[in-house]
Amino acid sequence: MELSDRDYFCNKSWTLSYNITTKSWISFHSYLPNWYIAENNFFYSGLNECCDDFDFIVDVLGENPPDCNLQGHLTVIPKIPCLIDVEIPECTTAPEVGDDFQGGKVAYILQESDPGFIEGVVKGFIVTPSDLGTFVKWSKHASYPLPSVSTSISIGEGGNNTQAILLVEGNSGSYAAKLCADYVIDEYNDWVLPSKDELNKIHQNRAVLGLDSETITSYWSSSQGDNSNDAWMQIFNYPGHEGQQQQDAKLFGYFIRAIRYFTIPNPCTTTTTSTTIILE
């Protein structure tokens, strides 16, 4: 018989629930009167002032018994236990800012107003656990004028900026973007120099990232300034100038930290479990 067969079932609302915290089934629920007491791995149905000619129990049993065919819809065969597959979501806790994650610490998680934000997807970037260099130049060249690089200041653009800088500056020498691109920790080798806006997010979250020391530091971004000789940097831990972003000469030396991006397409994945329904 089918649950839609009104000779046996009336129009009542019911739900089988699974608690992903306790990893167990929880009780039958109804949106009509006569609520039932919750129990783990055991379910009740009731009359709800209707249909007093049947009752059934839902429980988790063993192997699939013979003569059951529940494909695509729920078919209940009286007094024969029938196995059905039920999809159960298992959720992975998304990382938070400051958490150790994939080679560094989570520096920022994209918000709805950020470019690249996707509803239901966790995206952000990770910062290296320590400085990759101090007093590092933005450009490897020794004199002005310096070659111009097309870059952006936006969140999500540090990678494109870094690639653009490498194309212009070349793959030799030691300069900020190249040190980031060459960095490897564990299996992670996709590090880049953060853009101006990305660097600012690191500064805003510096306390949980271990960047709030009393040492006066300034960091390079990958964003070129208004002319080819300058780039954007940001001051950390300098009273009176804390957090200030400004354009400075590319041949000056500042600290650098690299970032890498991460994406969790969906914090929840779905698995299938087998559940048996018995009509008695």
Name the nearest CA neighbour of 66 among 86, 85, 80.
Answer: 80
Structural domain contains residue 203:
yes
Structural domain contains residue 134:
yes
Dist. CA 250–CA 108, nearest whole Å: 26
Whether 274 and 199 share a structural domain:
no
Whether 222 and 86 share a structural domain:
no
Whether 74 and 111 share a structural domain:
no
Whether 126 and 150 share a structural domain:
yes
Whether 273 and 256 share a structural domain:
no
Structural domain contains residue 107:
yes
Structural domain contains residue 178:
yes
Residue 145 vs residues 77, 86, 150, 220, 227: alpha-carbon distances, Å: 84, 67, 16, 19, 10
For residue 219, the domain's CATH number is 3.10.100
Four-point Cα dihedral 43, 48, 52, 55, nearest 10: -10
Whether 166 and 196 share a structural domain:
yes
- Give the number of domains in the chain: 2
Whether 200 and 64 share a structural domain:
no
Structural domain contains residue 5:
no
Whether 229 and 163 share a structural domain:
yes
User: Per-residue DSSP letters for 48-81?
Assistant: TTS-TT--EEEE--SSPPTT----SS-B--BTS-
Whether 124 and 191 share a structural domain:
yes
Structural domain contains residue 10:
no
Task: Look up the domain containing 32 and give its range.
Answer: 15-91+269-279
Structural domain contains residue 62:
yes
Instruction: List for the chain the helix, strand, coil content (%; round to 5).
Output: 10, 35, 55
Residue corresponding to tokens 């729920």: 74
Whether 24 and 58 share a structural domain:
yes
Structural domain contains residue 232:
yes
One digit per residue, pLDDT tens: the chain, 280 residues?
565 666 655 555 555 555 555 666 655 444 444 444 444 444 444 444 444 443 443 444 334 443 433 333 333 334 445 555 555 556 667 889 999 999 999 999 999 999 999 988 999 999 999 999 999 999 999 999 999 999 999 999 999 999 999 999 999 999 999 999 999 999 999 999 999 999 999 999 999 998 887 778 999 999 999 999 999 999 998 888 889 999 999 999 999 999 999 998 866 655 555 555 544 4
Dist. CA 41–CA 43, nearest whole Å: 7
Whether 30 and 168 share a structural domain:
no
pTM above 0.95, yes or no: no
Whether 125 and 247 share a structural domain:
yes
